[in-house]
Structure 1
Amino acid sequence: MDKHFKFSNSVVGLPLFFVLFLWFIYWLEVRFGFDFDVNGILPRTVSGLQGIIFSPFIHSDISHLYNNSIPLLALLAALQFFYAKQSFYVIGYGILFSGLLTWIIGRENYHIGASGLIYVLVSFIFFKGLFTKYYRLIALSLTVIMLYGGMLWYVFPEVDNSISWEGHLAGLVTGFVLSFIYKTPEYKKEVKYDWEKPDFVAAKDKFMQRFDENGNFVNLPPVVEEESELPYFTSSSTLSYAADLNYSHVANIDLESESES
C-alpha cells in the first residue's frame, strides 16, 4: 500500500458517526413531534442564519435522509483515508461556506439536508485529485466522477424545483475553492533530475544542445580557444639521438634557437 495512505479507525468511524447522528436527529423529530425544518436556511433573513449550521442535519423525510446517507458514508470515508490532514477542515468550512452562499443566493424557502455537504465532498475530491497530479488521487477523482457525475445536473435551476439547486451549486463552488486553499505537499513529486526543476533552461544544458528543435542529433560547433595575452616562445632546434651497445645514450644537439616575446 502507498506510504501516504494509512488506514485508521477514523476512516470507518467518522462517516459512521456522522451518518448515525443524522439518523438520531431524524428519530428525535419523529419521536417527539418536532419540526426542525424551521431551523433550516431561510435566505437573506437574520433568523435564517442559524440554518448555516443546522441545515445539514435536518431532513424532510426518511427517503431524503436515506438518499444522503449512502453518498456520505462513501465520500467521508474516502476523504478521511486520502486526505486525512485536510478532512475536518473540509467538512467544517464546507458546511459553513456552502451554507452561507446558499443563504445569499437561495430562494425564499427553507433549505435543509446534507446534500450541500455531499457536493462539497464530490467537488473537493475530484478537483484536488487533478491538481495534485498524483496517480492514485487522479484515479480517485475519476471514480468519484463516474459514481456521482450525474449530480452535476442538479446544480441548475428548473431541473427539479423540489430540491435546493442553490445548495448544490453552493457546495460545488465551495469544494472547488477549498481544493485550491488546502495544499497537499506530501503528494508533490520529488525532483530527481535537473530537467524537472522549474528554472531548467534547455538551451543552456550541454546534453540538450545536442538536439535540434525536431529532436535530431546534431554536433556542437567547434570550441574556439581565445588567444592568450601572455608571452610565448618558439624554437627551431634539431634534436637527434644515437645509442651504443652498452645501452648508454649519446645526444648530438645542434642548437639554433630564436625567441619571440
Structure 2
Amino acid sequence: MSSLPLQGKVALVTGSSRAIGAAVVKRLAADGASVVVNYVSNPDAANAVVDDIHSSTPGKAIALKGDMSSVPEAENLVEETIKHYGKIDILVLNAGIMNPKLLKDIDEKSYDDHFNMNVKVPLFMVKRATKYLQPGGRVIFISTSLTKFSGVPPSYVLYNATKGAVEQLVRVLAKDLGSNGITVNAVAPGPTNTELFTTGKSEQLIQFFSSLHPMKRIAEPNEISPVVAMLARDESVWVNGQTIFVNGGYAV
C-alpha cells in the first residue's frame, strides 16, 4: 500500500504555471498525484513546472493551454485532462484576475472581466467536471482573506465582490455535490509573495501589509499549498462547504 496520500489521483489546477498555482501542483505531485499544469500565454513557464515535478516528485505532469476567462476553453481543458489521464479526482480553481480600481474608475468591462474569470468560468468548469468526478472527488476554490479583513482597500471593490460570490458558491455547491460524495471548499490566502499581489505596489506598501501580520511578513506560495493538499486528501472528507483562511493571523 502506497504511503503517498494522493497516489493514483488526477488533479487539474487552473493558472498553475506560476505563483500559488505552481506551488499547488508541485505539492499535489509530491503527494503522488498526476497533475495538469494549466497556462494561457507562457508555455515555457508551464513546461519548467512540469520538468521540476518530474525531476523532484513521484507525480506525473503535463502542461495544457487554456484561457480561464473563457467558458469554452475551460470546458475544453476538462476534456483534455480526461483524454490524457482518463479521469479527474481533484479540481483546483486557482486562476483569477485582480485589477484594483476605485468605484469612480470601474466600468462594465472591468466588472465583466472580474466576474467572468473569478466566478462565471469556475462555476461552469465545475459543472463540466461533475460529468467525471466520482465519490471522493474534491473541488477547491481559491478565495482571499480580504473577504474577512476589516481594512480592505476601497480599490478592491470588484475583486472582493467576486471572492464573496466564490465563498457563496462553495456553501451551496457543497450541499449539491456533497450528496454525490464530492466535497467543495475554498482556501483564502492573505497577502502572498506573488506577481498578482506585488505588481503595482511600492516596497513601502508591501512592508505595510507585512506589518499587519503577527510574523511581520507576507506569505510565500509554498505556505498556502499544503492546505490545498490537505483538502485534496481522502481524510478530509468531513471538511465540506468551508472557506479556510490561510493568512498567518492577518485576518482572524
Structure 2 length-normalised TM: 0.24
Whose radius of gyration is greater, 1 or 2?
A: 1
Q: Which has the higher strand share?
A: 2
Structure 1 length-normalised TM: 0.24
Q: Which has the higher helix share?
A: 1
